[in-house]
Amino acid sequence: MVSMAEEAKKIKEDIVAWRRKLHQNPELSFEEVETSKFVQEKLTELGIEFQAPVAKTGVVGIIRGEKSGPTVALRADMDALPIQDEKDVPYASKVSGKAHLCGHDAHTSILLGAATLLSQNPPTHGNIKLLFQPAEEGLAGGMHMVEEGVLENPKVDAIAGLHVHPTADTGYVTVCPGVAMACADHFDLEIIGKGGHAAHPHMSIDSVTVTAQVISALQQVVSRTLDPLVPGVLTIGKIDGGYARNVIAPKVRLEGTVRLLDPELRKTVRDQMDQIISGVCNAFGATYHFDYQFGYPPVQNDNSLIPLLEETANKVLGENTLSVVKPSMGGEDFSYYAEKVPGIFFRLGIRNEEKNCVYPNHHPLFDIDEDALPYGSAMLAEFALNYIKKHTKESVLTNPLPK
Profile the chain (403 residues) by mean pLDDT over runs of 10 residues: 93 98 98 98 98 98 96 98 98 98 98 98 97 97 98 98 98 98 98 97 97 97 92 97 97 98 96 98 98 97 98 98 97 98 98 97 98 98 97 59 48
pLDDT at residue 393 in the model: 73
CB 81 within 8 A of CB 97: no
Q: Which helix (H) or strand (E) holds 289?
A: strand 287-296
Which residue segments constitute the domains of the chain, with CATH numbers given?
4-180+298-396 (3.40.630.10), 183-295 (3.30.70.360)
79 is catalytic: yes
Provide the 10 A C-beta neighbour count for residue 208. 15
Q: What is the pLDDT of residue 396?
A: 52
| Close Cβ partners of 240 (under 8 Å, ≥ 6 residues apart) | 252, 253, 254
Which DSSP symbol is given to 274? H
Catalytic residue among 27, 32, 77, 136: 136
What distance in Å separates the CA atoms of residue 298 and residue 375, rounded to the nearest whole number? 26
**Interatomic CA distance for residues 180 and 158, integer angstroms:** 17
Burial of 8 (0-12, 13-18, 19+ CB in 10 A): buried
Question: Three-class SS of residue 288?
Answer: strand
Query: Are the C-beta atoms of residues 142 and 53 closer than 8 Å to each other?
Result: no
The reported pTM is 0.93
Of 261, 376, 62, nearest in space to 368 by CA: 376
DSSP-derived 3-state class of residue 389: helix
Active site residue 77: no
Name the E strands within 171-223.
Answer: 173-175, 179-181, 183-192, 196-197
Task: Count other Cβ atoms within 10 Å, centred on residue 64.
Answer: 17
**Catalytic hit among 27, 32, 77, 79:** 79
Whole-angstrom distance, CA of residue 180 vs CA of residue 297: 11
Residue 286's DSSP bridge partners are: none
Strand-pair partners of 189: 254, 290
